[in-house]
Structure 1
Amino acid sequence: MTDVPKASELSEILREMCTQIAEAAPEGWLRATANGFADKQDVGLAGVSYRLAASDEHAVEVDLRRGLRQAYRVSGASEQGLSIELTVDASGRFEAVTGLGVSRLSHPKRGFMYVLKPETLPPNPGDEQEKPVNPTPAGDPEEAVRLLREYLGRRAELLCGMLDDPSGILPAPLPPSRLEEVESRLNVALPADLRALYGVADGDGQVGLFGRMSWWMDTSGVAAVHGGDRHWAPRHWRDRPFAPFRPFVHDADPPGTVRRSVDRRGWIPFVIGTDGNYLAVDMDPASGGRPGQVIRIGSGYYHGPTYVADSVTALLRRYVDALARGDHRIGEDGDLWIDVPEPHKGAGTHLQTLRVTEDDEANLQLARQAPFLRAVELSRCRSADLTALREAPVETLDIDLKTIDLAPLAGHPTLRAVTLTTPHPVDLGTLRTLPRLEGLDLSRASTHGIRAIAELKGLLYLALRYEQWQELWAYTDRMPALAAAFLAGKVPYDKVADWTAQLNVRIVDRRPTAQQIHHGHR
């Protein structure tokens, strides 16, 4: 909530700007409107428009840059830009609406993003998957404890008896009452096998039982990570500025075991790696998974998690078996390296992304035998027949072709995000027939039939060049209820101000909150 001193200071700055507008007004004016934009680099003003008594409109250049800079500084907009709309009556009354949400983005995609509805994010594909067919955990708490003790014993033998007493190398067990408190904080129950392990030791004290550069966290660490910001999971449009619309998430291998999400509240990290990634127990699996299965998540898994084992018990068994086979070595520093194979390495055995580049005619026939194909990328090809994609469950399509014909994709049931790059005009009419289309980037495309965008009712994100936005608005007053918009290119700030003002008028329900509206008399 805006604090009172800042709100008062901002209102005074806006009042001074309105006084400037009134002083520059022509004879017979009734009302004036102005739209401005400011961020940490510059300011822009779309001009001041005066309505005269004869119902004429008269534009006047009024230098409000100083006020815009001051308003931005006082507003606390930080990395976000500040948009301002001023309305001044000849009677002396004024109203100002301020809003945050405009961000300047630079390389590799220069332009401005305007987040219109920050609470409206792209749908999560994992939410659409079915619950597990077998809801019983695969882990066994008694076996898990036995395996842990066997594992520690084998480690002790290999390291010359240094670790012969498990209680000497591991933290003390966690009392059951304390574990219940932790689970209450998590708001998710731990699987029984991991719970039993915490009854032996509260983590590994950074011994690295689950990998030389990884540590089994104590329960305080588990609760802190689980309830923290979970930095690997984008929760805002600006968390992924150069890929703002990414509904595509890989399916794990085996398919259908892990939900197609980047993060879920039912995923509880319990091992942290120095690379910023985690082993987590999955208490919210997909139809082919089991509660308590182990997955890898983190910043290195932005395309989705990987499946590791059906339980912590099974993971421990792999470590014990590896030591029994002799799949290990001891480093000069005394560290134990254990070669623990993971049978599933992500999406390697199932084609989920098809990339074709620098072909005269892009060959898409592989798509006909790819039941898990989710993303197609075509770059620097002359043309492509998209017919082969009709039956594939493709969700994202990124096409860079000399010529593009979208007609074969008419009615495609799963296509969610489309990016087009082409020097020759592409007919957008087919987009009307895509029931799931939620993201569209035409900023590097030549198009005709741009008014078709107005009929894309489910569209959440749209990226266009300034002249494309102008063309769209010239054809229609109707607009999809966008959650975020992108203005591509190196655009003058006066045009940015005009663009934000147009979006507010055409898309946003203009009923500002008490923190956004300022009014009074000059």
Structure 2
Amino acid sequence: MTLTAYLNEMKALLKDKLPQLEASLKEPATPAQLMQTEARLGVPFPQELRELYLLHNGEDNLGPGLFFGLRFLSLDELVSEWSTWAGLEREYGEQGNHYSVPLGWIKERYINRGWLPLSEDGGGNHLGIDMDPDTGGSKGQVINFGRDEETKYVISRSLTDVLRFMRDTVKEGNYSVFEEDEEWTGWAYGAESGGHFLDKIRSLQLPLFTAIERSAPASDELQWAEQALDEKWRQLIAAKSKSFEIFTQAKQLYLIREELTDITPLQYCTELRELSLSVNGIYDLSPLRSCQQLKVLYAGGNPVTDLTPLQALPHLQQLFLTGTGVQDIASLAALPKLKELDLENTPVTDFSPLGNSKSLRSLTVSISTPGQLHVLSRLNRLRKLEVISSGREMAADIQAAVYALGELRKLKELCLKGLTLSDVEFLKGCTSLERLELKDTVVADLSALAKLPVLQELELSGSDQVGQLEDIAASSSLRKFTGSFAQFDLMKDKFSQPVDFSTLIGETTEEQEEIWHSYIR
């Protein structure tokens, strides 16, 4: 059957129980309108999307929401929503953590102008058509995306399959109709009224009508594993999921401060994309070898020392090891997609293995000797670096060593914490630097910052002992300044261009608050 046939049958089935649906659907779009829309987006529509719009050009604002409560957008509304997202893509496209289910079918981004919003929920979330899929996906697949949609699912390979699923659901009676304020009638997927369809899709077998081979353990293996669980894990799984089987299908798990020492049950969680094990008593990460899809791992605050099990995780991109016992990071060089690494407050002294990583872009380290800065200066692919001094005893030797960081010409963000410097002349070599943060750092002369060509943001957190601060007013690129009230008061009228002073750090008196509020209004 065609998309048209499924939609018409569904409308006929709902004629008595939800007449508002057909009444809210607009007149067909014209071929000329479709061509104009495709030209505005620069993307040709899949044939079935054209077919849908040639039936109805969206839905009235007070319609019940064609897609189980999600309102069907007109072509003009589609373009408007798409334009809003496209305008934010450059700045926010890769912000946050995002996950594709199945793995490798949807590009794991926050924004992608190749996603066409087909419907909306009124809160910035959409059912959409993916015209820029990842390597495993296909053009025209139907996905969820938006402000709250961190995990993105391929709902179906085609829009026709979505209409087929909706028709089947209506035939089975697995939906609910409800009224709000006696003026608006809505409907939802499932027997219970209300609920967000984009939440409910997570319990469906996706993609619809498509058999996907999963790497999940066999049912008999899961039964055996469940019987072997100790009481602590039984209680923990009961709190996180309805059953052990559902627990093993989780995409994200947060097991923070659970007093865990043994994580053996996690070897059955083969679909995990994000895992937090922060602040437990874990020594052995070996069970994670089975978590082949893992993208983000928080392991900070554990006595773990051996990272070799992580070599089995080809998709790992973010790794947080703050406060662990890790000393040897050689095994991390083998991770092909590792982008972000946090080694704060670890006994790691040799950062040279990271020079073999072609993907690493963000690094946080604690240093104990000035010589470590020379090693860091050779990580020329870095875009973000945080350097934390483990003691003031380095003060005498740090100035000469810190000049090495000027070799990081692609660096865009730099944070220095706990250092004592005579000047920041070394930053002249960091010609791509856009953001500088100084935490609890002493600098006798900051004037060199005025010469950085693209510096946009300066934050001084607990760094009250900085000299020549007024000289940075000569910077023509700075757009945001964050510091104490005294620093704000000194700098607020010094710049020739508008500068954002909307954030203060530290305590203020009522009088100071009044002065600051008056300025930023």
Structure 2 length-normalised TM: 0.59
Identity %: 22
Matched, 1:329 2:184: no
**Secondary structure, in 3 states, of the residue corresponding to 1:297?**
strand
Structure 1: runs of 5+ lacking an equivalent:
1-141, 241-245
- C-alpha change, 1:364 and 1:179, in structure 2 (3 Å) is same
- C-alpha change, 1:292 and 1:502, in structure 2 (3 Å) is same
1:167, CA displacement in angstroms?
Answer: 4.9
Task: Spell out, residue by residue over 1:123-153, the C-alpha distance to the aligned partner (whole angstroms, 9 max, x if none).
Answer: xxxxxxxxxxxxxxxxxxx722222222223
- Alignment partner for residue 382 of structure 2, among 437, 443, 453? 437
- C-alpha change, 1:342 and 1:502, in structure 2 (3 Å) is farther
Task: Spell out, residue by residue over 1:216-265, the C-alpha distance to the aligned partner (whole angstroms, 9 max, x if none).
Answer: 1111111111123657x4644xx79xxxxx67754522232222332222
Matched, 1:195 2:50: yes
5 Å-filtered alignment, 1:8-19, equals none
Whole-Å Cα distance in 1 between the matches of residues 68 and 369 of structure 2? 53
Task: Spell out, residue by residue over 1:281-317, the C-alpha distance to the aligned partner (whole angstroms, 9 max, x if none).
Answer: 121222222111222222224x675433222222222
Task: Spell out, residue by residue over 1:424-481, the C-alpha distance to the aligned partner (whole angstroms, 9 max, x if none).
Answer: 87823433443532111225766864333122232222222495665653xx475122
Higher relative helix content: 2
- C-alpha change, 1:434 and 1:306, in structure 2 (3 Å) is farther
- C-alpha change, 1:423 and 1:211, in structure 2 (3 Å) is farther
Task: Spell out, residue by residue over 1:318-370, the C-alpha distance to the aligned partner (whole angstroms, 9 max, x if none).
Answer: 22233344433344666432145262797854210111032123453442221
5 Å-filtered alignment, 1:149-168, equals 149-156=8-15, 159=17, 162=19, 167-168=22-23
2:32 alignment partner in structure 1: 177
Whole-Å Cα distance in 2 between the matches of residues 321 and 376 of structure 1? 43
- Alignment partner for residue 189 of structure 2, among 325, 328, 338? 338
- Alignment partner for residue 503 of structure 1, among 435, 444, 449? 449
- Alignment partner for residue 315 of structure 1, among 154, 162, 179? 162
Does structure 2 conserve the Cα–Cα contact (< 8 Å) formed by 1:383 and 1:401?
A: no
Does structure 2 conserve the Cα–Cα contact (< 8 Å) formed by 1:402 and 1:422?
A: no
2:65 alignment partner in structure 1: 208
1:461 alignment partner in structure 2: 413
Matched, 1:400 2:344: yes
Write the letter of the residue equivalent to 1:320.
Answer: R
Matched, 1:380 2:380: no
Write the letter of the residue equivalent to 2:437.
Answer: L
Does structure 1 conserve the Cα–Cα contact (< 8 Å) formed by 2:105 and 2:138?
A: yes
5 Å-filtered alignment, 1:231-246, equals 233=88, 235-236=90-91
Does structure 2 conserve the Cα–Cα contact (< 8 Å) formed by 1:279 and 1:296?
A: yes
Does structure 2 conserve the Cα–Cα contact (< 8 Å) formed by 1:328 and 1:338?
A: yes
Matched, 1:280 2:128: yes
1:219 alignment partner in structure 2: 75
- Alignment partner for residue 430 of structure 2, among 480, 486, 491? 480
Task: Spell out, residue by residue over 1:39-82, the C-alpha distance to the aligned partner (whole angstroms, 9 max, x if none).
Answer: xxxxxxxxxxxxxxxxxxxxxxxxxxxxxxxxxxxxxxxxxxxx
- C-alpha change, 1:426 and 1:316, in structure 2 (3 Å) is farther
1:507, CA displacement in angstroms?
Answer: 4.7
Whole-Å Cα distance in 1 between the matches of residues 71 and 331 of structure 2? 47
1:517, CA displacement in angstroms?
Answer: 9.1
Whole-Å Cα distance in 1 between the matches of residues 158 and 64 of structure 2? 21
Does structure 1 conserve the Cα–Cα contact (< 8 Å) formed by 2:96 and 2:110?
A: no
Task: Spell out, residue by residue over 1:156-176, the C-alpha distance to the aligned partner (whole angstroms, 9 max, x if none).
Answer: 35x1x635xx75331111122
1:419 alignment partner in structure 2: 364
Does structure 2 conserve the Cα–Cα contact (< 8 Å) formed by 1:269 and 1:278?
A: yes
Write the letter of the residue equivalent to 2:355.
Answer: A
Whole-Å Cα distance in 1 between the matches of residues 430 and 9 of structure 2? 61
* Stretch deviating more after TM superposition (360-369 or 328-337): 328-337
1:184, CA displacement in angstroms?
Answer: 2.3
Q: Which has the higher contact order (CA 8 A, sep 6+)?
A: 1
- C-alpha change, 1:424 and 1:466, in structure 2 (3 Å) is closer
5 Å-filtered alignment, 1:228-307, equals 228=84, 233=88, 235-236=90-91, 250-301=98-149, 305-307=152-154
After superposition, the CA RMSD in angstroms is 3.8
Whole-Å Cα distance in 2 between the matches of residues 466 and 284 of structure 1? 45
Does structure 1 conserve the Cα–Cα contact (< 8 Å) formed by 2:424 and 2:449?
A: no
Does structure 2 conserve the Cα–Cα contact (< 8 Å) formed by 1:407 and 1:430?
A: yes
Whole-Å Cα distance in 1 between the matches of residues 411 and 159 of structure 2? 42
Does structure 1 conserve the Cα–Cα contact (< 8 Å) formed by 2:418 and 2:440?
A: no
- C-alpha change, 1:283 and 1:383, in structure 2 (3 Å) is same
Question: Larger radius of gyration, structure 1 or 2?
Answer: 1
1:421, CA displacement in angstroms?
Answer: 5.0
Does structure 2 conserve the Cα–Cα contact (< 8 Å) formed by 1:422 and 1:444?
A: yes
Does structure 2 conserve the Cα–Cα contact (< 8 Å) formed by 1:412 and 1:433?
A: no
Matched, 1:143 2:87: no
1:506, CA displacement in angstroms?
Answer: 5.0
Write the letter of the residue equivalent to 1:395.
Answer: K
1:512, CA displacement in angstroms?
Answer: 7.5
Write the letter of the residue equivalent to 2:58.
Answer: G
Whole-Å Cα distance in 2 between the matches of residues 226 and 330 of structure 1? 30
**Secondary structure, in 3 states, of the residue corresponding to 1:156?**
coil
Does structure 2 conserve the Cα–Cα contact (< 8 Å) formed by 1:272 and 1:279?
A: yes
* Pairs aligned (count): 355
Does structure 1 conserve the Cα–Cα contact (< 8 Å) formed by 2:307 and 2:332?
A: yes
